[in-house]
Every structure is written in C-alpha cells, then in structure tokens.
Amino acid sequence: MRLDLDFADVINKLITLLEGLTGGDIFFVLKNNYVERHYYTKNGIWKKIHFIKQILKENKYRKLNHMLKEYPVYYPFLLKGNYCYIIPIIIKNSLKGYTFIVREKTREFKEQEIEVINNILSQAGVVIENSFLIEETHAMNFEIVKSLVKAIEAKDTYTKGHSQRVAAISNLIAKEMGFTPQTMKKIDMAAVLHDVGKIGISEKILNKVERLTEEEYNQIRKHPENGYEIVSQIKNMLQIAEIIKYHHEKWDGTGYPEKLEGEFIPIESRIISVADTFDAITSDRSYRKGASIEKAYEEIMINIGKQFDPFVVKNFLNIEREKIIKIIKI
C-alpha cells in the first residue's frame, strides 16, 4: 500500500480488502488531532447492533478501552445473531481508532483469520498515520492560502463571497457529473482559491468604474498564472495550482493564459469556468449591476461549445434552479 495515498483512499482500500477477506460488514472509527470520522461498508449491519450504537453515542473510547482490558483483544460476541470482532488501531503506542468487523451468527471468526486481519491492520497503521499527516498539512496550507483570498475580497468589495459561491456551484456540478469525493475536494479547494492571483493587483484597478486600459486588462489576465505561482509553491498543492491556472481557458481555444482547447483543459478547470462565469454575471461590479438569474442561464447556454464544455453545461443545467438561486443569494 503506497505511503502517499489520500486518507480516504487508504480507508476505502482497507475496507475493500477486509470485506473481501472476511465476508463481513466493516466499520472504522478513526480519530486524528482535528476530527473523528466513521467509514463503513454499504450493508450497514453495524447500525442494528445496540452495543456499537451506544459506544458511538457516549464516551466510546473510554468504554471500549475498559472492555478490552476485561476481555482479550480477540473478542467475538453474539448480539442479535451477529458476531462482532473489535480491533483497536494503535499507531506509535497511541490509540487512533477501532475496526469493527460484523458477521452473521453462522460464521464465527477463526484464529487464522484473526491473525491475518491483525497483520493487515498493523501494516496499515503506518499508512494511516502518514495519510493523517498529509491531510493535516493540506488543511494547514489551505487555510494559509484562504487568508490571501480574504485579503483580496477586502480590497475588492464587489467580489466578497464570490469564491465561496463559485466553490458551492462547482461542487453541485461535480456531484451531478458523478466525481469521487477526492476529486470534488480538489475542485472545492481550487474554486475557493481560483482568484488568489489577484492579490498583487491594485485596488484602483479592481474597483475601477471606467473601462480598463489595455495595460490594466493585461494585469487582470495574469491572475490565473499568478495564482499558479502562489499555490504551486505549497507542498502537495500542484494539482490545485494547475486547475487554478486554466480556469479562464475556453472550450474553443480562445481563452488564456495558454489558449488550450477542448479536453486539453483540465475538467476541473472547465467546471470552475462555468460556475465562475455564472456568479460573475449575477454579481454587482464597480462598473455595472448584476444581471438576473435568467440572463446568466441564457449567457451560459449561448456559449456552449465556445467558452464552455457542452457536457459540463449539460450537467449544470440538470441541477435544480432553486439550489443555484440559494447559493447566488449568499
């Protein structure tokens, strides 16, 4: 198992592996410095077991620790016709969570199975710990760059909340297109940070009421590349930086900074392009009032196959308008 996997990837691979090995219903409770999370298979047998529900409801770690002192770690027990095997996840002598494996009454765990499961989880502990550290680093880096976005919005009052709205719309599109949670997370981060390259542009230009000069417009056009330079310097953020760099490319190849065309543009950038344009049309600017929701939809549809990927727009149009309107009003 690779040491640099995304945290959710690690857990999903473990669940798939243990599910295939044991034929049971797998449930992970994992905790790092920030949050406790639950991961489980779709069967959901564990939901029916009162014992587990109580553990999850109140003081679960102390209660389980106490139980595991009274019983051996191999702890099969019969509850409502199911065997449940509980394995604490210990990393560097620290309790990081538990694995629950639930099986039907007729399939008691054998000692050989227990040994294999323990070996797998022991080896996986290193990968889990490493993915915890990567995730925490990502979270810290993201917060640092988000502070730059807030600084931009403080300079340009007309774009306050723009990045959050673009992220929310982008997430709806990505969900409609069936992307994985990992890809949706990348899209969310890139959407929040897509205008971070404007940090070096003066307030005078950002808030100018009159038509921009060619030189001023060229400064604005540099913000995707500037954003790339900022974000790419942060460890593990290169993919996010590339999405940011290309969010002003157009499907027909007339965009910037590199005039990429069609599917040469990252799909994440194509999604953010639609969301960014839609919110920009409906938002007030220093030089104009925001247009109506209907006008924004009309502009998006007019530019299918020109500015926008037809498939992305198709999925955007499938989203309930009420959901989009709710975001735009934020």
Residue 192 and residue 59 share a domain: no
Residues in the chain, total: 330
Contact status, residue 24 vs residue 104, Cβ threshold 8 Å: no
Per DSSP, helices labelled H in the chain are: 7-22, 50-57, 60-70, 111-155, 162-176, 181-193, 203-206, 214-221, 223-232, 238-245, 267-282, 293-302, 310-318, 321-328
In a domain, residue 19? The reply is: yes
Confidence at residue 38, expressed as pLDDT on a 0 to 100 scale: 58
CB-side neighbour CA atoms (13 Å) of 88: 20
Regarding whether 317 and 173 lie in a shared domain, the answer is: yes
**Domain endpoint, select from 66, 99, 133:** 133
Residue 182 and residue 269 in one domain:
yes
The DSSP-derived string for 259-316 is ---GGGS-HHHHHHHHHHHHHHHHS-BTTBPPPPHHHHHHHHHHTBTTTB-HHHHHHH
Tokens in use for 314? 């198709």
Q: What is the pLDDT of residues 241-278, one digit of tens each?
A: 999 999 999 999 999 999 999 999 999 999 999 999 99
Whether residues 247 and 160 share a domain: the answer is: yes
Same-domain pairing of 165 and 129: no
Strand pairing partners for 86? Answer: 100
Identify whether 95 is part of a domain: yes
The answer to whether residue 179 is domain-embedded is yes
For 75, the token pair is 């702890």
- Token match 């994985």: residue? 180
Same domain, 263 and 183: yes
Does 205 fall in a domain?
yes
Beta strand pairing call for 25-31 and 77-79: unpaired
Give the pLDDT score at 118. Answer: 76
Do 234 and 88 reside in the same domain of the chain? no
pLDDT of residue 40: 57
Residue 49: inside a domain: yes
The answer as to whether 138 is a domain residue is no
Tokens 């106490």, residue located: 66
In this structure, is residue 241 part of a structural domain?
yes
pLDDT at position 1 is 41
Domains of the chain: total: 2
Task: Assign residue 70 the CATH number of its domain.
Answer: 3.30.450.40
In a shared domain, residues 244 and 287: yes
Last residue of a domain, one of 78, 101, 133: 133
The range of the structural domain enclosing residue 178 comes to 156-328
0.85 exceeded by pTM:
no
Nearest CA among 102, 47, 43, 53 for reference residue 78: 102
pLDDT of residue 237: 86
Structural domain contains residue 151: no
Based on the fold, state whether residues 129 and 229 are members of the same structural domain.
Answer: no
**Cα dihedral 319, 275, 160, 139 in deg (nearest 10):** 90
DSSP string, 194-213: TTGGGGGS-HHHHT--SPPP
- Give yes or no: residues 226 and 308 share one domain: yes
Cβ of 29: how many Cβ atoms within 10 Å?
21
| pLDDT on residue 318 | 98
Last residue in a domain, options 133, 164, 181: 133
How many angstroms separate the CA atoms of 25 and 116, rounded? Answer: 17
Which parts of the chain sit beneath pLDDT 70?
1-8, 27, 29-84, 95, 104-108, 157-159
Q: Do both 187 and 82 map to the same domain?
A: no
Separation between Cα atoms, residue 19 and residue 117, nearest integer Å: 11
- Tell me, yes or no, whether 125 and 176 share the same domain: no
For residue 90, which phi and psi values (nearest 5 degrees)? -105, 125
| pLDDT tens, position by position, 161-212 | 899 999 999 999 999 999 988 899 899 999 999 998 988 888 888 888 888 8
pLDDT at 116: 80
Which run of H or E residues covers position 36? strand 36-40
Measured CA to CA, the distance from residue 85 to residue 72 in angstroms comes to 11
Distances (CA, A) of 246 to 197, 256, 278: 12, 7, 17
Q: What is the CATH number of the domain that holds 183?
A: 1.10.3210.10
From CA 327, how far away is CA 241, in angstroms rounded? 25
Query: What pLDDT, on the 0 to 100 scale, is given for residue 24?
Result: 74
pLDDT at 15: 78
Residue with tokens 């490493």: 130
